[in-house]
Amino acid sequence: MSRFCANLTMLFTEYPLLERPMEAAKAGFSGVEILFPYDVNAAELGSALARAKMPLALINCPPPNYADPDGPRGFAAVVGEEDRFKQSFRRTIRYAGALGAEHVHIMAGVAKGPAARACFVENLKWAAAFAPKQSLTIEPINTHDMPGYFLNSFDLALEVLDEVDAPNLNLQFDAYHASRIEGDILGVWDKVRHKAAHIQVGGVPDRHEPEGGDFNYPSFFKLLEKNKYSGWISGEYHPAGRTEENLSWIS
């Protein structure tokens, strides 16, 4: 049985963040993810999640000033920012513990070259050892949406996961990004599904609701059940209208 969660950073934005968990519950979601919850008091957010009886599937490990549109998009692969990464990660783990977040996504940031790769691997090894009971993920992101992002290849992600070799570090598979990066969502999924701990979906090519468009999501969801995938499937997309107007994809 598929477990669908709502990305509250993108969905239900018609409401204040603390009201979104309840709206997601009313709409039929079983859980939520919040990319960057750090501007909200953790106790208040925890209470909002508890009132809605919504588990928190995932949060991101960000730079403190992610709200800055020109700010960095993570720095786990940025040489010279190792101390900053560790400080940010410690903060994220405190939030994850307070909110019961199942996964923490570690963002690589804008970087390139062998030194960045080595930095990324070492930071991930440190993070996995620092929080051995916390599930961690890395996610390939296409460079059209995020220019210069270091982890922009699924092959590279598999290489990094093998090199880090930590039981609590796995892949975050975003179908929209897979389409943008390789143009073949099913082919990429078949290649990486043994490492996938969390899935995100959005329409192709417009990143609206995951239905119609260039990819058959109902068939993909059936394939996930056939593959015995038991993790979350998160709607991470920009609604074409109000969020509640089109949620048929989760039914």
Q: Is 139 a catalytic residue?
A: yes
- Tokens representing residue 212 in the block: 């119609």
Per the CB < 8 A criterion, the answer to whether 223 and 231 are in contact is no
- Residue 179's nearest CA partner among 235, 140, 224 is 140
Q: Is 211 a catalytic residue?
A: no
DSSP letter at 107 equals P
Q: Say whether 215 sits in a helix, a strand or coil.
A: coil
Of 33, 139, 182, 244, the active-site residue reads: 139
Residue 103 to residue 171: CA distance in whole angstroms: 11
> In this structure, what is the dihedral angle of CA atoms 119, 168, 49, 13, given to the nearest 10 degrees?
40
Residue 82 to residue 150: CA distance in whole angstroms: 15
Of 14, 236, 244, 245, the active-site residue reads: 236
Q: Say whether 186 sits in a helix, a strand or coil.
A: helix
Per the CB < 8 A criterion, the answer to whether 143 and 110 are in contact is no
Residue 157 to residue 170: CA distance in whole angstroms: 9
Residue 3 to residue 198: CA distance in whole angstroms: 11
Per the CB < 8 A criterion, the answer to whether 181 and 108 are in contact is no
Give the DSSP H/E element, type plus range, for residue 192.
helix 185-192
Chain mean position to CA 115: 25
Show which residues are catalytic: 139, 236
